[in-house]
Amino acid sequence: MIVEIQGQLYKIRTKKEILSENFQLILSKAYHSRSKNRCVSCNVDMYISKVENRYYLKSYPKKAGEHKENCVFYKNGIENFISEENIEINIKSEAILFKTTPTQKTTDIQVINKAERKIKNFNHLIFILLDEAYAKAFNIVNKGKKRLSGEIVNPETELVGYFLKKELENLKIKGKTIKEILKEKQVFFKTGEILSSNKRQDKSYRYFDGMKSWIIPEYVWEQAVNIAKIYTNIISPPYFYLRLSGKRKVYRFFILPVASEKIFIPVESDLERKVANKILKKDYGIYKPMTTLHTKQILTKQIAKDYFRFVPPDIRPDFFVFKKDKIGIIEVVDKNNLKIDKYRERLEYKESCYSRLPSYFEYIRIQA
Ligand SMILES: [Zn+2]
């Protein structure tokens, strides 16, 4: 999503990002300037509201439905579990976990759309919780270590999965924790890694998690794999996955491409995976920001202060690399994308910001 605030464009992945300290500063200035603000992606005017010293970007009354369905500001869109009032996660119904996927016999397009929306909401929720879990795991395994010490390590997938489970279980729906709800319904969730997968003759999918093979219905698999798609190209495994299932039924299935086995580094393309694995061979700590929400805690206070002096809060490099006395900032560039004006302009803008950073930052563009 791209939003315009006081004439400047910012890219966000979740409404939560506007609550970061640096974004709040931008919103506070815009609030007093009475500038025009809008969601550029949907061409919908928005305004800034101030509640208890926090600033929010809001749609005008009755206009929230004018955003596109995949916009975080759309009224019943992918982020409808985030309350407009305080940007907290507030899930109103269990449908996000259980709303059954339509059977092949279902032809009612409204029923199908409604079920698919729940799946998209769920996937987006897990994405945000996973971002949180990843930052927690990274900070725990690197607790007390200076970011420029050359001793930064990467969290294991198992630890990230553990924190994701905690994040999800502790959420409440109508006063009950998700942990209690799942127990009542005898639904379990499992996280792990998918090392390979294939389509079977009956059109279902089989995946291998390093120990065992599992079968997943075609529809469930294809909804999950949407997140691993770049246009129509599907990024290959390994994937991190989360499965929510009862005795006979898979309710939800979430996947996210990762760089390699056992350690957790999300990637957004096969090219990014290649680059991440090269860096890993050198034994460096890597952090891939999934959103901009945790940049400050990952870099730690002093480094983040230097960083945000020159880099706007919406900018997310592909990787931060922690070396001895250096912090690498990596952009992985598929040269085909450079033909796309918007992509190239955004990259050049990012690079002009990185070029002003203090010399212990080291910017590298990796192009292929
Ligand atoms: Zn929008």
> What is the CATH classification number for the domain harbouring 135?
2.40.50.140
For residue 147, the enclosing domain spans: 116-257
C-alpha span between 184 and 176 (Å, rounded): 11
**What pLDDT is attached to residue 140?**
98
Coil vs helix vs strand at 339: helix
Report CA dihedral (131, 10, 68, 270) to the nearest 10 degrees: -50
pLDDT of residue 227: 79
**DSSP three-state, residue 218:** helix
Expressed in angstroms, the distance from the first to the final Cα of the chain is 26
Residue 231 counted as domain residue: yes
pLDDT of residue 106: 67
Question: Which of the listed residues 207, 231, 257 is the one where a domain comes to its end?
Answer: 257
pTM of the model: 0.94
Paired with 194 in beta bridges are 239
Compute, in angstroms, the gap from residue 39 CA to the centroid of ligand 1: 5
Whether residue 246 is found in the same domain as residue 282: no
Q: Which of 179, 176, 88, 180 is nearest to 125 (CA)?
A: 88
- The reported pLDDT for the residue numbered 234 is 87
Query: What is each CA distance from 23 to 3, 10, 28, 29, in whole angstroms?
Result: 12, 10, 9, 10
Instruction: Check whether residue 39 and residue 75 sit in a common domain.
Output: yes
Q: Please tell me the distance between residue 15's alpha carbon and the centre of ligand 1 in angstroms.
A: 11
Q: What is the pLDDT of residue 101?
A: 61
Q: How far is the CA of 141 from the centre of ligand 1 (A)?
A: 37
Domain boundary among 226, 257, 288: 257
User: Which three-class secondary structure state does DSSP give residue 5?
Assistant: strand
Which tens digit of pLDDT belongs to each residue from 302-319?
A: 999 999 999 999 999 999
Domain termination residue (choose one: 50, 79, 108): 79
Q: What is d(CA 264, CA 261) in angstroms, rounded to the nearest whole number? A: 8
Our count of domains for the chain comes to 3
State whether 242 and 299 are in the same domain: no
pLDDT at 64: 85
User: Could you tell me if 132 and 19 lie in one domain?
Assistant: no
Q: How much distance in Å is there from the Cα of 69 to the middle of ligand 1?
A: 8
CA of 126 relative to ligand 1 center, distance in Å? 21
In the 3-class helix/strand/coil scheme, how is 231-280 assigned residue by residue? CCEECCCCEEEEEEECCCCEEEEEEEEECCCCECCECCCHHHHHHHHHHH
Task: Indicate whether 251 and 159 sit together in one domain.
Answer: yes
Query: What's the average pLDDT block by block, 10 residues per block, for the chain (368 residues)?
Result: 92 93 93 90 94 92 88 88 89 88 68 82 94 98 97 97 97 96 95 95 93 90 83 88 92 94 94 96 96 95 96 96 98 94 94 98 96
Gap from CA of 82 to ligand 1 centroid (Å) = 15
Position 191: which residue type? T
Residue type present at position 310: F
How confident is the model at residue 111, as a pLDDT? 76
pLDDT of residue 337: 92
